[in-house]
Structure 1
Amino acid sequence: MERVDLSAPAPAPGKLQEEVGRMMEEARDLQESGSSLLWKISNEEQSLRQKAISLESSILRVRSLISSLLSQKLLDRNQASKFEEELNRASCIISDGDAAAFLPAKSQGRFLRKFLGPINVRASRKEVQLKVKEEYNSYRDRTALLFLLFPLILLTLRSWIWDGCLPAFPVQLYEAWLLFLYTGLAMRENILRANGSDIRPWWIHHHYCAMVMALISITWEIEGQPNCAQKQKGVELFLQWAMMQGVAMLLQNRYQRQRLYTRIALGKANRMDVVWGETSGVDGQLWVLCPVLFLMQGFEAYVGLQLLKTAFVGVVPKWQVLCCGILLVVMAAGNFINTIQSLITKSRFKAKMKRSKNKQESD
């Protein structure tokens, strides 16, 4: 910073006026240059946006034409498969490259508008979008480990220190953390969808249900002696299910991300896609992952039914127990249906690729 010499004589008024006038002129020039640049960028962005929209609609039109020619048997299936593969790559270039910033933004949904208001969360630069995705993956890795360790510590302390009876505060602290976890996941996933990620809507709805369940369970009074083991049976089952959920999340994070990188390299997936879907795994990985997922979903439904049983029989006749039981059953059914649909889609895709390969070999 330039130091002002106070002992120096003051400039003449005429010279000072000249200096102020020069600064005003520079400010006007800077304003005009900035306005001109922004106007030029705006016009170029509008032109690129129109080109991107036109190209995207052209890809859809050509795909429809290919399907029509196939149905009329006017196009060879091998040739159609090659065309489809090239169109998929072209679509990935548009949606996964810098040109994606010029495509119409996806709806941000009511959830983000409730929390953030009418703010555009779509990043214009691809490196910013990828940074958001990497932060989301890191968040899932950290929370999966906590998802496993937190209930394990509670159950261990229950057996060793608390004489088989969980105190209320640690359990409610865990439920408050679950509310924070699922709210953070839902917000991050909505932001990723607004930036072009292909997250299945069910997973976001699943987190909405989990948020409601965590909010309800915070108000659930954790009763102690007498008959502590019977009164806290639902809490014990819930913590055991949470441990299984942590194991499944760790497996998904480890196995599916490897396959996703391969699909991105082949041009079959977007760099903004994440690893929630079961279709990301290869055959050997699915043999490990699917039994764990089905076991967890079955146990989740079992915990929900047990909570409903305790509410109806009268062991713990509280509305929180009833609501949590219903939500667990709904989430288990939704997870099971989504997993089955994913496996069916994968098997159909594999059968199609196998038929195409056999026909190429025979030709």
Structure 2
Amino acid sequence: MEKANELVEEAARLAEQAREVQDAAAALLSKTWNEEQALRQRALALESDLKRLRSSVDSAAKKNPAVLDPKISDKIEEELYRARCLVSDGDVASLLPSKAHGRFLKMFLGPVNVRATRKEVQLKVKEEYNSYRDRTAFLFLLFPCTLLLLRSYIWDGCFPALPVQLYQAWLLFLYTSLALRENILRVNGSDIRPWWIFHHYCAMLMALVSLTWEIKGQPDCANKQKGVQLFLVWAMMQGVAMLLQNRYQRQRLYTRIALGKSMESA
């Protein structure tokens, strides 16, 4: 009997502790939410002030260029750039309204929030995007090279239909995954231009249409498959361009990260 009473008391004590922890957690979350909302309002006001000052400086420079001394103008530009870097590339960016998800993301992911609240997570998403582009650029270059070599030395100058269609299916997957990742990056504050994402939509359509190509064989295979051969040669050149572009974008990302850190420590 005493053992049972002890168990009841222990259960009651744990239940009371659970209620206390729940109340403390609720109070903490409420306090954090209130502080976050206040900070969010400050961030919005700061962004508005930056836009207003930017507009005022541009307007003054257009109306009367002699009003602003070159040294003063350079100082203003430096301070505005510093503030803009902190707002757009720092932790403040997580407090600003996110860009709309768009129909493409909603079509594939549904009403899921893909906005990262922490800056290091956003940078990790960008880094993963660049790494993915590096990997796929090598494949983009390797696949057509392999197909062309096999055509010359193994397939007697004639492409079988299946390998070419597998490559085209991979292209469809590649462009779809790139478009998804780029839409997620835009939601997280990346400055990827809309036309760049739109051109991947067009590439998706191109890859889908190419899957319907009829890969004709013998006789006169070389002439019938001339278009396929030219497409693969173009893909090789595109792969080289992607590798160079990826290198440039990665260096630009590292530069922006370094600038953001230097601005924070200044």
Match of 1:37 in 2: 28
Any idea what SS the aligned residue of 2:155 has?
coil
CA distance in 2 between counterparts of 1:141 and 1:117 reads 28
Residue 80 in structure 1 maps to residue 82 in structure 2:
no
- Alpha-carbon distance in 2 for matches of 1:15, 1:264: 59
Sort the Cα spacing of 1:75 and 1:12 in 2 relative to 1 into closer, same or farther, 3 A. same
**1:243 maps to amino acid:** M
Letter in 2 for 1:55: L
Aligned to 1:116: 109
**Structure 1 pair 33–219 and aligned structure 2 pair: CA distance change class (3 A):** same
Q: Give the whole-Å Cα distance in 2 for the aligned partners of 1:34 and 1:259.
A: 42
Change (3 A) 1:99 1:11: farther
Task: Provide the rounded CA distance (Å) in 2 between the counterparts of 1:135 and 1:218.
Answer: 29
Match of 2:10 among 12, 19, 24: 19
Match among 40, 58, 71 for residue 67 of structure 1: 58
Give the structure 1 partner of residue 263 of structure 2.
none
| Matched length | 259
Match of 1:170 in 2: 163
Counterpart CA distance in 2 for 1:230 and 1:256 is 39
2:254 counterpart SS class: helix
Residues 1:259 and 1:46: Cα distance change in structure 2 (over 3 Å): closer
Residues 345-356 of structure 1: pairs in structure 2 closer than 5 A: none
Greater relative CO, 1 or 2 (CA 8 Å, sep 6+): 2
Closer/same/farther in 2, CA of residues 132 and 142 from structure 1, 3 Å limit? same
Asked if 1:103 is matched to 2:84, the reply is no
The aligned residue for residue 44 of structure 2 is: 53
Residue by residue, what CA displacement relative to the aligned partner does 1:133-191 show, whole Å, maximum 9, x if unpaired? 11111111111111111000001100111111100110011011111111111111111
Instruction: Tell me the distance in 1 between the aligned counterparts of 2:256 and 2:14.
Output: 57
Contact 1:189 1:199 in 2 (8 A): yes
Partners of 1:11 and 1:44 lie apart in 2 by 49
CA contact (8 A) 1:70 1:76 kept: no
Deviation at 1:221, TM superposition (A): 2.0
**In 2: Cα distance, 1:41 partner to 1:259 partner:** 35
Q: Quick one: distance in 1 between partners of 2:5 and 2:256?
A: 71
Pair 34,266 (structure 1): closer, same or farther in 2 beyond 3 Å: closer
CA offsets 1:89-147 (integer angstroms, 9 cap, x no match): 10110111111110111111111111111111110111111111111111111111111
Select the structure that is richer in helix.
Answer: 2
Tell me the SS of whatever aligns to 2:218.
Answer: coil
- Code of the aligned partner of 2:11: V
* TM-score, normalised relative to structure 1: 0.68
1:224 counterpart (200, 205, 217): 217
Query: Do residues 185 (structure 1) and 178 (structure 2) align?
Result: yes
Residues in 1 aligned to 2:238 and 2:232: alpha-carbon distance in whole angstroms: 10
Unaligned runs of 5+ in 1: 1-9, 268-363
- What is the TM-score normalised by the length of structure 2? 0.92
Unmatched segments (≥5 aa) in structure 2: 261-266
Structure 2 residue 83 is matched with structure 1 residue 90: yes
Partner residue in 2 for 1:129: 122
- 1:259: how far off? 4.9
RMSD between superposed Cα atoms in Å: 1.8
Separation in structure 2 between the aligned mates of residue 196 and residue 149 of structure 1, nearest angstrom: 33
Compute the displacement of 1:33 (Å): 1.1
Counterpart-to-counterpart distance in 2, 1:134 and 1:106: 20
Identity of aligned residues (%): 69
Which amino acid letter does the alignment assign opposite residue 124 of structure 1?
A: T
